[in-house]
Structures are given as C-alpha cells and as structure tokens.
Structure 1
Amino acid sequence: MPKQKKKCDEAQRKWFEDALERIKKATGARTQVQLAEVLDVRQSSISDAKRRCSIPAEWFLKLYRSHGLDPDWLADGVEPVYINASKAKIPADTILREAPTPYGRMNSRGRVVSVSSVAGAQTESNTWAPQPLEELSIPESFFRPQLQVIRMDSANMEPVIARGAFVGIDQAQKQHPDGDIVAVHFPHQGLMIRRAYLRDGEFLLKADNPQHSDLTIPAEEMAERTLGRVIWVLQNLAPM
C-alpha cells in the first residue's frame, strides 16, 4: 500500500504563507510566475513547496545572494531584514510596514528591554533621556535597533493607549505623516504621545481623549524634539 503524504497542519500552513509573503514583499514578486523567475525555479517547484508547507533551504541562500536578505527574517520575521543591505531592492522600512509579523507563533522568541518613565531622567533638559523603571519581555519581532519603551502615565490617548500601557517607540522613524502617533519632548513635562498633523507652518498634536487639550509646536522644531514614532502598544483590554 502506498505511503500517504503528510498533510500540513494549520500552524505549518500559517508559517509558510507568512514566510512566502515576506519573500514576495522583499523581491517585488506579485505572481507565482514572477516568484519563480526571482528564485530561478519552475512554477511546479513553488506548487510543491506549498503542498509541503516547506521552503527549501536553497531558496533562502539564493535570496541572500541576489537580494542580501537575512534567512532568519524570511523564515520567522526576526530582524534585520538584510544581511547585505547593499543588495537591497526595496527599503527595509517599506517592507516592514507591509510584511506580516510572527507575533503569537509557538516558536517566536522573546527579548527583555528596559522601560522608561515618560518624564525621563532630566525633566528640565532640552533633550529627553530615558529613566529606567523596569524591564519587559517582548516578542523578538517587536524589537528594533533603536527601540525605546515607555510606560504611559496619562489617559490622553485613551481608548487607543490606556494609562499604564507599554508603548514601543522607534527612534529611527521621525517622519510625521498626518495622523501618525509620535512621541515629542516638552521640557519640564517629558514625552507627549499625540497624533501629529501639519497645519499652516506648525504641528498640531492631538489627543484621542477629548478631555485632554491639544498641543502645537512650530514645524521647524518638530524634528529636533521628536523622539520617534509609536510602532506598538502592549496593554490590558479588560480592567484589572
């Protein structure tokens, strides 16, 4: 009697689909035909990989050689995206905004990071410096080389960000698209977490909670006083 082929379980299929999506985003391949051309394989090879929920190791090697991509990121979403960034075809920030993350996966790894107060170490200074309060374990995919985690001490962004929430700020991202949530430093007050909107030569920093007032800051000061962009929030949804 012929041996039956082992079927993929749900977790294996999810892993495969996420990894394949990362490959497509990083190479710009939109169809199976384009993907086969990038990998220099037959379309039937991709169909076979889908049936097995398995990506051949030589694909990762090819993508490293052709695009400089990190096999760990392709397989599990663990940054950095590129080992050899000189071969990058697409900016890493663009890929990370679009590619799925492995949060919640059984084999996801964690990393311990320091958590600072919103006020920082020197409240009277013109620049913000962290004041460590505690440590927090986060999924590896949440980590960034210039990540700063703070503990929210205000209700001004509720219900999106609750008082007491852990807020991840990427200090490498200081652009201000309208509506993005950013962390901006105000001397004597510390970091203010607000949605930023450019209006008539100044930035309007809006609170999501209508009980809290909005702030304004001259556009020419925004870059210097911006710590970074809020990229994730960890908080309890139910009252303790």
Structure 2
Amino acid sequence: MSKWFDESLERIKKATGTRTQVQLAEILNIRQSSISDAKRRSSIPAEWYIKLYRTHGLNPEWLSDGIEPVYLKPGKGKIAADTILSETTAQYGQVQSRGRIVPVSSMAGEDVSSQTWMPQQVSELNIPETFYRSSLVVLRVEGSSMEPAIRRDAFAGIDDTQKRLMAGDIYAIYVPHQGVVIRRVFFDPENSRFILRPEDSQHPEQYIAVEDQDKFVVGRVVWVMQEL
C-alpha cells in the first residue's frame, strides 16, 4: 500500500508541477497537515482526485493507478503523459517539468474594447520554479511584430509590478480595441512620450504618453519560452 501511495503522490506532484507539501497544499486548497495525514494513512482522499480533475483536467485513474489517458479534459492538459513521467518538457528541450503550472492569457484579454486590460485564461503552462513570481502574468504571443526575437506562439512572462517604462527594455502594453502588444520601448523627449517599437520594421511604431504608463502598461517582459 505504501508503494502505491508513493507512486500515486508522485504522479500528482509531476502533473501539478509541485515539489513540496506547501506547494501541493496550495494547489489542492487544503492544509499541509492534510497531506501529512494522507501519508500516515497511505491513502489519497477522493476529494483530491475530484479537485485535480476540475482544476487540471486530470484523469483520476491515471493519478491513482497510472492508467492513461492522463487528461479527461484535453483543453486543460498541456503536458503529455510521457513528458510528465520523464520529468522533461519536450517542447522546450531540457527545461524540467517539475515546476509550477500557471494560467496563460490571450493578448486580447476579457474585453478588447475596455479601457483596462484584464487577463482571460486560454490554457495552462508548466514553467520552471525559478521562472515563477507572484506578480507573473503569462501571455501567448499572437502576432509576428517582435520576430525574430519573440516568435508567434511563444509564451511571454510579464512582471505586472514593473510598469515604469525604461528605454531599451521590452514591455507588454495594452492598446484599447487592439489588445496587448509587446514592444521595445524608447523615450521621445521632444514629445514627452514613449515610442513602442516592433522588431519587425514592417509593423508600425506606436506611442504612449508619459502620464499613461500606469494606465496601459501591463508589465515588463522578464522571460520568453519558445521553440528554437
């Protein structure tokens, strides 16, 4: 029974990108002591399977006994069974899958006509633990304006506490009726504005007034995950 419990718990950890009891308790929305109790009894509560099905689309039979498929809700599952078991993400080479699963938002957000951008989850992504921060927003890049530096369909990690624009850095900036754009920023002192410059010269430059930084800047791009 102890071996079955250990194997089942290991599958749960790999599929949720958790390594510690604290992280697992956070994912399951339970007390850490509940995990210790489960270990002592060598029994995983049925409620855990239900929660993981609802939040991650995971198959209770796979979690319990390793019977595939891994996911019963394909739209929520972004890590293949063989990828989870080998502890690597095939899409991104040697990145370890033992990390953290985070929501991924579209660049349009909830309402592209709004004056304020709000994230709208479209998928999930397993990222290395070192990539995670509490202020993280992850976007799926939908355009080619920043190619070749940032390709279409890349994942961009945004720190939404870093809204003060610094010349030369890359930021995610909300443009009403268009959605979020990712641009390298330069300062234009003559007009008291920032230039939002794409890497691809076929796309036009855009501008943001100095006083509008806090209103439209989503945050600074701190990492990018994309296929080579």
TM-score by length of 2: 0.56
The residue number in structure 2 matching 1:157 is 146
Matched, 1:191 2:202: no
Alpha-carbon contact 1:169-1:228 (below 8 Å) kept: yes
Distance 1:154 1:211 in 2: 12
Change (3 A) 1:226 1:105: closer
Q: Structure 1 CA distance, aligned partners of 2:218 and 2:197?
A: 17
Give 2:125's aligned amino acid. Answer: L
Matches within 5 A, 1:15-164: 109-164=98-153
Q: Using the alignment, how far apart are the partners of 1:176 and 1:217 within structure 2?
A: 10
Count of aligned pairs between the two proteins = 134
Structure 1 Cα separation of the partners of residues 95 and 122 of structure 2? 29
Question: What is the identity, as a one-letter code, of the residue corresponding to 1:167?
Answer: A
The residue aligned with 1:235 is 226
Deviation of the 1:182 alpha carbon: 0.4
Counterpart position of 2:164? 175
User: Radius of gyration: which is bigger?
Assistant: 1
When residues 135 and 203 of structure 1 are mapped into structure 2, their CA distance, relative to the original with a 3 A threshold, is: same
What secondary structure is seen at the aligned counterpart in 2 of 1:175?
coil
Distance 1:176 1:109 in 2: 33
| Alignment check: 8 A CA contact 1:169 1:232 kept | yes
Which of 198, 204, 213 is the matching residue for 1:207? 198
Deviation, structure 1 residue 175: 2.2
Instruction: Give the structure 2 partner of residue 18 of structure 1.
Output: none
Distance in 2 of aligned mates of 1:139 and 1:216: 34
Q: Deviations over 1:89-117 (max 9, x none)?
A: xxxxxxxxxxxxxxx687x8400000010
Contact preservation (8 Å) 1:121, 1:131:
yes
The aligned residue for residue 219 of structure 1 is 210
User: Structure 2 unaligned runs (5+)?
Assistant: 1-93
In structure 2, how many angstroms separate the alpha carbons of the residues matched to 1:117 and 1:178? 26
- Greater than 3 Å deviation, 4+ residue runs: none
Report what 1:47 is aligned to: none
% of aligned pairs identical?
Answer: 46
Query: In structure 2, do the counterparts of structure 1 residues 137 and 130 end up closer, same or farther at CA, with 3 Å as the change threshold?
Result: same
Structure 1, residues 40-62: CA drift from partner, whole Å, max 9, x if none?
A: xxxxxxxxxxxxxxxxxxxxxxx
Contact 1:198 1:219 in 2 (8 A): no
TM-score under structure 1 normalisation?
Answer: 0.54
Q: Give, in whole Å, the separation in 2 of the partners of 1:115 and 1:122.
A: 16
Task: In structure 1, list runs of 5 or more residues that go unmatched.
Answer: 1-103
RMSD over aligned Cα atoms: 1.7
